[in-house]
Amino acid sequence: MKLSVQDLEVNYNNVAALKQISLEVSDGAFVTLIGSNGAGKSTTLRTISGLVKPSGGRICLDDQRIDMLSADKILRLGIAHVPEGRRIFKDLSVAENLYLGAYIHQDKAQIDLDLDKVYSRFPRLEERKGQHARTLSGGEQQMLSIGRSLMSRPRILLLDEPSLGLAPIIVQEIGHILREINQQGVTVILVEQNADLALQLADYGYVLETGRIAMQDKAELLADNEHVKKAYLGI
């Protein structure tokens, strides 16, 4: 499944948030969007997953235009979105959160297999499956949010700032898990302010600045770029 974004434009109250963004994400790729606050990274993800409607341009999955579809229909096409701030259902139990991730599926047996997979990937979620999600730590909540999205059996996984507010050791753990998910064939599009982590994980990167793509290259080349180093890697 190839995702292509062409000349995407998004306006919020007549202010341009995205100005002609174009991305190409091939099947199985690990792509990252880096950039500072307000550069349009989240807006790009939110537009792909159907939460925000573009005012121009198009988003295609293979040959199908998806930019007019609602978020629940886009998920059914295989694009799952782990939103910024985790957005787990705090008053539901861990297990209920995960089952809701599989809301679009009806095959009970496969759902239970997927659940076992998520639990083996995140053993702490299994230990806490009966607890209200609000009682989880920040890292566990992030794992729940990722696990919930995996329950939909995505072909493309969008992640918005999964490292935000987490201890470095948890960030490493989550990075490790994202790489594993990608190696199992899921395309990953990662939005991160932690550019260091993002460029380590990804194989291709885009740098967003004020709603435009300022640079794009292989991740290791971006990590070596002087401008990127100075502006985003703090070196």
Partner 1 sequence: MILPSFFADSFYETILALELFLQSIVNGTIQSGFFALAAVGLVLIFGVMGVVNFAHGELVMVGAYTVWFLHAQHSTPFLITIVIAILVVTVIGILMEKFLFRPMRDDPLGGLICSIGVLFILQVLATLVGGDGPSKQVPPPFEGTMVLFEFLRIPYQRLFSIAVSVAALGLLWHFLTHTKLGWALRAVSQDREAASLQGINSNRISMIAIAVGAAMAGLAGALMAPLTNINPHMGHNVIITAFIVTIVGGVGSLSGAVIASVLYALFHTFVTTYFNGTVATISGLLIMVLVLIVRPTGIMGHRVSE
Least spacing, CB of residue 206 vs partner 1, in Å: 22
Binding to partner 1 in span 92-111, by CB under 8 A = 92, 96, 99-101, 103-104
Nearest approach, Cβ of residue 163 and partner 1 (Å): 19
CA 194 and chain centroid, separation: 14
> Judged by CB under 8 A, which of 81, 114, 163, 232 binds partner 1?
81
Q: How far is the CB of 75 from partner 1 (least distance, A)?
A: 4
72 lies in the site for partner 1, by CB under 8 A: yes
What type of residue sits at position 35?
A: G
The one among 91, 130, 185, 235 contacting partner 1 by CB under 8 A: 91
Structure tokens at 165: 């507010």
Q: Which window, 86-94, 113-121, 183-191, 214-222, contacts partner 1 (CB under 8 A)? A: 86-94
Cα 82 from Cα 56, distance rounded (Å): 24
Helices 138-150 & 168-183, crossing angle to 10 degrees? 10
Exposure class string for 92-131: b at 16+ Cβ within 10 A, else e: ebbbebbbebbeeeeeeeebeebbeebbebbeebbebeee
What residue ranges bind partner 1 (CB under 8 A)? 49-51, 70-72, 75-76, 80-81, 83, 85, 87-92, 96, 99-101, 103-104, 134, 148-149, 152
